[in-house]
Chain A
Amino acid sequence: AQSVTQLDSQVPVFEEAPVELRCNYSSSVSVYLFWYVQYPNQGLQLLLKYLSGSTLVKGINGFEAEFNKSQTSFHLRKPSVHISDTAEYFCAVTKDYKLSFGAGTTVTVRA
């Protein structure tokens, strides 16, 4: 069975500082990987996805992620965060048409 581990449940960060959210997945899953963001009291929105090709994936709002097959990781990064990036972030993997989510990482950006 597939599994996704998000290594940090809470990440506090100062405005304009960089942030990295860590995600590891089990090697038995198909390598279709996603990061979703959930702003307070809203549904999930796709940030970026890795399906194939270049291992560095760029998404919306200045986020990017790198797929590392040997380390079975898909870490999300942003070089300079804004207050508006305060949200919960979910890493997810798919097998066939079913998504398996990590537990989520709450990012709190402080001025």
Chain B
Amino acid sequence: NAGVTQTPKFRVLKTGQSMTLLCAQDMNHEYMYWYRQDPGMGLRLIHYSVGEGTTAKGEVPDGYNVSRLKKQNFLLGLESAAPSQTSVYFCASSPAGGPHTRREQFFGPGTRLTVL
């Protein structure tokens, strides 16, 4: 049971390049999330998904797109990277079910992205 995994761990992009970050979870969780972490700002929600085939915007969605074609995977895309997107990106998942279990999230190890 690997939990939540993220690929790649590190990436350097030039301005204007595109890339996709992959998140995979093997816990059969319904909900999945993408966050970015910047110094002094905690984690901010980019997009999230409440089930296969669904996505929704979070707090800071501009410049990102997501897809959830399979329940276990949640992809985050940058179509035209900008230096402001330099950050550490975390994926998380949480189970559905009763109200208590819905609210605990399990995090991946993060992807460190630098945009030059």
A residues at B contact (CB < 8 Å) = 4, 9, 32, 34, 36, 42-46, 49, 51-52, 90, 94, 96-104
Q: Which residue of B lies closest to A9 (CB)?
A: B40
- CB-based contact A45/B107 at 8 Å: yes
- CB-based contact B48/A101 at 8 Å: no
Q: Please indicate which of the listed interface residues B105, B106, B109 has the most CB atoms of chain A within 10 Å of its own CB.
A: B105
- CB-based contact A98/B42 at 8 Å: no
Of the four ranges (under 10, 10 to 19, 20 to 34, 35 or more), the interface on chain B belongs to 20 to 34
Majority DSSP secondary structure for residues of A touching B:
strand
Q: How far is the CA of A8 from the CA of B33 in the complex (A)?
A: 27
Closest chain-B Cβ to A61's Cβ sits at a distance in Å of: 17
The 0/1 profile, CB within 8 Å of A marked 1, for residues 9-51 of chain B is 0000000000000000000000101000000111111001010
B4: chain A residues at CB < 8 Å are 43
- CB-based contact B42/A51 at 8 Å: no
- CB-based contact B102/A103 at 8 Å: no
B residues at A contact (CB < 8 Å) = 4, 31, 33, 40-45, 48, 50, 58, 90, 92, 94, 100, 102-110
Q: How far is the CA of A32 from the CA of B107 in the complex (A)?
A: 18
B109: chain A residues at CB < 8 Å are 42-43
- CB-based contact B90/A43 at 8 Å: yes
List 24 interface pairs A-B (beta carbons < 8 Å), by A numbering.
A9-B40, A34-B103, A43-B4, A43-B108, A43-B109, A43-B110, A44-B90, A44-B92, A51-B103, A90-B42, A94-B103, A96-B102, A97-B31, A97-B50, A97-B94, A97-B102, A98-B33, A98-B45, A99-B45, A100-B45, A101-B42, A101-B43, A103-B42, A104-B42
- CB-based contact B103/A44 at 8 Å: no
B33: chain A residues at CB < 8 Å are 98-99
